[in-house]
Structure 1
Amino acid sequence: MTWEDLDAHLDKVPGTVSAYVGRLGARPTWIRQPDATHYAASTMKVAVLVALHRAAEAGRLDLDRPIPVRNAFDSALPGADRYANAQHYDNDDAVWERVGGTASPRWLAQRMIVRSSNLATNVLIGQVGLPAAAEAWALAGARHSVTGRGIEDFAAREAGIDNLVTAADLAALLGELALGARRPGPLASPAGCASMLDVLFAQEHREDLAAGLPEGTRIAHKNGWVRGVRHGAGVVFPDDAPPYVIVVCTTTDLADGGPSGEEVEDDACRLIADVSARVWESRHALAG
């Protein structure tokens, strides 16, 4: 396979397919519309994870001190009514069982990533604030991505306040996390970055990027989907080659899986898995 072959293959896909592939700290080996903006779906949760750990390291919250779990949130649109999440649209009943009770931010952060819980995400945004997520993007060097509202904040969405990502920005955020676990960086301490990577390693939705890798390959990743959108973003750690970042963002009719928390595997999943498999085959040839 050549990268030109892969581009030609993706040219036939309806909609927009963006990609970024490169070793950590190196120039990208392959990019495809890397600055095209896509609706973020759940990939925005990585920025919330970083914001949470930054707040903990600054002493503004304790990751292990329980906080209230309430299903009522302030809209990002000034003056709008408070909004709530719908359980059928979520991915994790375990968080819903805590409504009216408490949970630690650390536990909520894990559920936000490994099960992609929307409720956990909004509870944590309530703790750290949307500006903290914006700061996480900026510190990673992201240029176009925005975490403008919580999930299911429909009043804000209708007013044009949205969550957007690009392949290049997701690569910057995840790449900086992986590098930050090795040496001091802008996002968090090495211990903090390593802790966040451990959460991303534990991802349970493995039907796209991870599906294209050999069984047992370590990948720290986050995916996201709604109808018409499917993204996968991660850092792969081969045993026989340096780690590399891979991001594939798709806005396409191939992403026909349900918009709720159902376990989905659609043509967009298979497309991302195929790209992941082709990149894996070229892992020794990526630019250093």
Structure 2
Amino acid sequence: MTWDDLDAHLDTVPGTVSAYVGRLGAPPTWTRHARAGHYAASTMKVAVLAALHRAAEAGTLDLDADVPVVNEFDSAQPGAPRFSCAPHYDNDDAVWDRLGGTASLRWLAERMIVRSSNLATNLVIGHVGLPVVAAVWALAGAHDSVTGRGIEDFAARDAGITNTVTAADLAALLGALASGATTPGRLASPAGCAAMLDVLLAQEHREDLAAGLPEGTRIALKNGWVRGVRHGAGVVLPDDAPPYVIAVCTTTDLDDGGEGAEDDPCRLIARVSAEVWAARHRL
């Protein structure tokens, strides 16, 4: 399949499908609506992870310090009451099991990525602050993405404060982390970037990008989903080709149709991932 063929297939999808594919540190091989804005869902947690490591390297916090695990947070909307997360809307009972106790910021950051815990995300944001997250996007070279609020901050959402990403910006962020793990970069020290990459490699939600790769293929991945939205962004590390970055963002009317549904969002992203994998030697 050519890139034109893939574009033609995606043209039939109801909604917007964006993509960015390319080798690390090189111009993209294929893009599709790469600067179209999408609601971020949980993909913004990568920027929060980088913000935490930058704060640790600046000496403003200790990754291994225990912090209280609470469920009450300041809204990004001035004057709004504090808000809380809903347990049924989260993906990680392990963090909720510590409610009222303590946990290290390092552990919370891992749960924020590998299980996509919303509670852990808001706890980390509370310690680093949204301005530090915004600085990460800028340092990564992002042009359009914004992390304006925490998860389930509905007062801020209703006031128009939101979290937005593009495929190009997600690729820039993941690419900067991967490149920074081997050479000094913009986001953190090589050791810090390598530690973040290890967390992303441990991702447990593997229904989309990872599902399009051969079993055992290493991918440093973060995905995100809410109704009508499914995204996946990662760095694929083949054994037989140079690493490449891939980001696919979908805002569609597709349903999670389950087994046999050709184009539910996960299968759609997996198909794109498989086509890119097949072309990995030509990127």
The match for 2:115 is 115
Other-structure match for 1:28: 28
Paired position in structure 1 for 2:97: 97
1:255, distance to aligned residue in structure 2 (A): 4.5
Amino acid at match of 2:121: T
> Secondary structure of the residue that 1:246 maps to in structure 2?
strand
The sequence identity of aligned pairs, in percent, is 81
Alignment of structure 1 residues 33-44 onto 2, 5 Å: 33-44=33-44
Q: Which residue of 1 aligns with 2:272?
A: 275
Q: What are the superposed Cα offsets for residues 85-133 of structure 1, whole Å, 9 maximum, x if unpaired?
A: 0000000000001111100000000000000000000000000000111
Superposition pairs of residues 152-231 of structure 1, within 5 angstroms: 152-231=152-231
The answer to whether structure 1 residue 139 and structure 2 residue 139 are counterparts is yes
Partner Cα separation in structure 2 for residue 77 and residue 27 of structure 1: 38
After TM superposition, the score normalised by the length of structure 2 is 0.97
Paired letter, 2:273:
S
Post-superposition shift, 1:256? 4.2
CA distance in 1, matches of 2:168, 2:106: 28
Q: Which amino acid aligns with 1:38?
A: H
Deviations 1:14-44 (CA, angstroms, capped at 9, x unpaired): 0000000000000000000000000000000
Distance 1:214 1:256 in 2: 22
| Structure 1 residue runs of 4 or more that deviate by more than 4 Å after TM superposition | none
Indicate the RMSD between aligned Cα atoms, in angstroms: 1.3
Partner of 2:75: 75
Q: Deviations over 1:225-251 (max 9, x none)?
A: 000000000000000000000000000
Whichever residue aligns with residue 60 of structure 2, its letter is R
- Secondary structure in structure 2 of the residue aligned to 1:52: helix
Q: Which residue identity lines up with residue 271 of structure 1 in the other structure? A: L
Contact 1:230 1:250 (C-alpha < 8 Å) held by counterparts? yes
The CA distance in 2 between the partners of 1:186 and 1:254, in whole Å, is 37
**Structure 1 residues 170 and 255, CA, compared in 2 at 3 Å: closer, same or farther?**
farther
Distance in 2 between residues matched to 1:50 and 1:161, nearest whole Å? 21
Give 2:266's aligned amino acid: C
Displacement after TM superposition at 1:254 (Å):
1.2
In the alignment of these two chains, the number of paired residues is 280
Q: Give the distance between the partners of 1:131 and 1:65, measured in 2 at CA.
A: 22
Unaligned runs of 5+ in 2: none
Question: What's the CA shift string for 1:167-195, capped at 9, x where partnerless?
Answer: 00000000000000010011000000000
Distance 2:15 2:86 in 1: 29
In the alignment, is the contact (CA less than 8 A) between 1:227 and 1:256 conserved in 2?
no
The answer to whether the Cα contact below 8 Å between 1:113 and 1:200 also exists between their aligned partners in 2 is yes
Give me the whole-angstrom Cα distance separating, in 1, the residues matched to 2:81 and 2:64: 31
**Structure 1 residue 253: Cα displacement:** 1.2
Instruction: Indicate the residue corresponding to 1:61 in structure 2.
Output: 61
CA distance in 2, matches of 1:219, 1:255: 25
